[in-house]
Each structure stands twice: as C-alpha cells, then as structure tokens.
C-alpha cells in the first residue's frame, strides 16, 4: 500500500512545483504590475536595516531597493526562482546569501535577524499563520517585520488583482494562486502592527510595518 502524503506536504510540493514552472515567465507576467509595485517596494525596504531576511525572495525584485550596508539573506521554496535571484544579484553586484527553504519552517535560530521582509508571498503560503509565526520567531524582539501583501477581507474571495493574476498564471502554468491572507492572520500569528497603509484602487494590498507582540 502506498503511504498517504500529508496534506501539508502536498500543498508545499504543489507550491514549489508551481513557482518552478513560472520562474522563466514570472517577471514578464508582472511587468505591468511592477509599475505600481515598484514605489511601494522602495518605500517599504527603505525601513530595512542590519541583518535582513527576505522570505520568498523570488527572482530578487527587491534587491535594488535595499539600503546600503544591510546584510541580506534570502530564502525561497523554488529552485528556479532562486536561480533567477542569483543572476539578478550578480548583475547588481550584490552579496546575497540565498537558501532553498520553506517559509513555514525556517532553519534559523530564534531572534537572529534585525529585519524580516516579505513582499507578495503569503498569498501562496499554504498555512499563512504558521509562516508568519516563523517570521516572529527569527526576528529580534526589537526588530521589524516588513510586509507588502495582497490581503483579502474574505479568505475565500481573492481580490481583483489576485483573481486576474491567478487566472493568467493558471492558464499558463497550473495551480491557481490563492489570496487567503487576512489581517486576522497577521494578528493571530503574534505580530504587533505599528503602521498599516491601504494601497491600490481596491485597497487589497497592505503595507504593514510590524514587530513581535509584546508579552
């Protein structure tokens, strides 16, 4: 009898396979969206400092916007996305320590990063609360967690932008991106929100500056 694969493992593998499939097309598929996203990335990343972990580094779109002097580590679940990120880092002349890893189970000690960054990642993390708790675990008590994320009021109802992007990518590459991150997830994970900006025409993108909840 074939041993059943746990649902969490199947979801993680589906996510990895999805992003390996889209890696070559990823930047092209989002070229128009990036006109909107770029200034948001710049504003968010200007607040990063010290030893920085970027979770879901993707193709390295954030690399140009980090302040000088940061020590940057990046993780992603998909090997082909990391390969694109390495190429971008080389083009920019940046030293970035890149690792293949799952946002839901980070292999870093507690409280080792000054800043943790995630941009447009948690819409595709199978268990967003578990992943966010990992961000809380690895950041210092006085550190910052910087999020730029698609956030749904209803986890079963993706926002217009994610619905459009998800359907395009689905037709090209397979599984649909889901938009199941909510502000309730952020609070449930133990983040203390310091500032919250509502972005986009439909306010379905949130820029969140947070830290670990005290107490």
Sign of the torsion angle spanned by Cα atoms 53, 56, 60, 62:
negative
Dihedral over Cα of 136, 196, 193, 42: its sign: positive
Structure-block tokens of residue 174: 């397979």
Instruction: Give pLDDT, residue 145.
Output: 98
**Paired residues of 72 in beta bridges:** 52, 96
The per-residue pLDDT for range 93-114, each reduced to its tens digit, is 999 999 999 999 999 999 999 9
Which domains, and CATH codes, for the chain?
A: 7-212 (3.40.50.150)
In this structure, are strands 205-212 and 139-150 parallel, antiparallel, or unpaired? antiparallel
pLDDT at 2 over 60: no
- What would you measure as the largest C-alpha separation in the chain, in angstroms? 55
Range 159-175 average pLDDT: 43
Does residue 100 contact residue 76 with C-beta atoms inside 8 Å? yes
On average, the pLDDT of the chain sits at: 87
Q: Dihedral sign for Cα 165, 168, 172, 177, please.
A: positive
pLDDT at 155 over 70: no
pLDDT score recorded for residue 141: 95
33-57 average pLDDT score: 97
Higher pLDDT, 120 or 153: 120
Q: What mean pLDDT is predicted for residues 163-183?
A: 52
49-88: per-residue pLDDT in tens? 999 999 999 999 999 999 999 999 999 999 999 999 999 9
Residue 164 has pLDDT above 90, yes or no: no
The span from the CA of 25 to the CA of 40, in Å, is 22
Q: What is the pLDDT of residue 7?
A: 57
Cα atoms in the Cβ-side hemisphere of radius 13 Å centred on 74: 29
pLDDT at 153: 66
Q: Which residues contact 56 (CB under 8 A, 6 or more apart)?
A: 75, 76, 77, 103, 118, 119, 120, 121, 122, 125
What integer pLDDT is reported at residue 120 of this predicted model?
A: 94
Q: Which two tokens stand for residue 214?
A: 């005290």
pLDDT band at 177 (very low <50, low <70, confident <90, very high): low
Three-class secondary structure of residue 86 per DSSP: helix
What does residue 19 show for φ and ψ, rounded to 5 degrees? -75, -25
For residue 28, pLDDT beyond 80:
yes
The pTM (predicted TM-score) of the whole model is 0.86
């Amino acid at each position: 009898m074939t041993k059943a694969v746990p649902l969490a493992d199947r979801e993680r593998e589906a996510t990895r396979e999805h992003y390996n499939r889209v890696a070559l097309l990823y930047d092209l598929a989002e070229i128009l969206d990036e006109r909107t996203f770029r200034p948001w990335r710049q504003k968010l990343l200007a607040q990063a400092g010290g030893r920085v972990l970027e979770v879901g580094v993707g193709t390295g779109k954030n690399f140009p916007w980090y302040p000088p002097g940061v020590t940057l580590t990046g993780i992603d679940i998909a090997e082909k996305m990391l390969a694109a990120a390495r190429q971008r880092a080389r083009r920019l002349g940046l030293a970035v320590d890149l690792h293949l890893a799952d946002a839901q189970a980070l292999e870093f000690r507690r409280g080792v990063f000054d800043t943790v960054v995630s941009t447009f990642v948690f819409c595709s993390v199978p268990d967003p609360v578990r992943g966010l708790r990992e961000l809380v675990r690895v950041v210092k008590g006085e550190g910052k967690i910087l999020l730029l994320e698609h956030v749904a009021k209803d986890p079963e109802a993706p926002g217009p932008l994610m619905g459009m992007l998800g359907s395009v990518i689905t037709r090209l590459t397979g599984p649909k991106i889901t938009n199941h991150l909510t502000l309730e997830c952020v609070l449930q994970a133990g983040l203390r929100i310091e500032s919250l900006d509502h972005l986009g025409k439909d306010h379905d993108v949130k820029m969140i500056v947070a830290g670990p909840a005290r107490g």
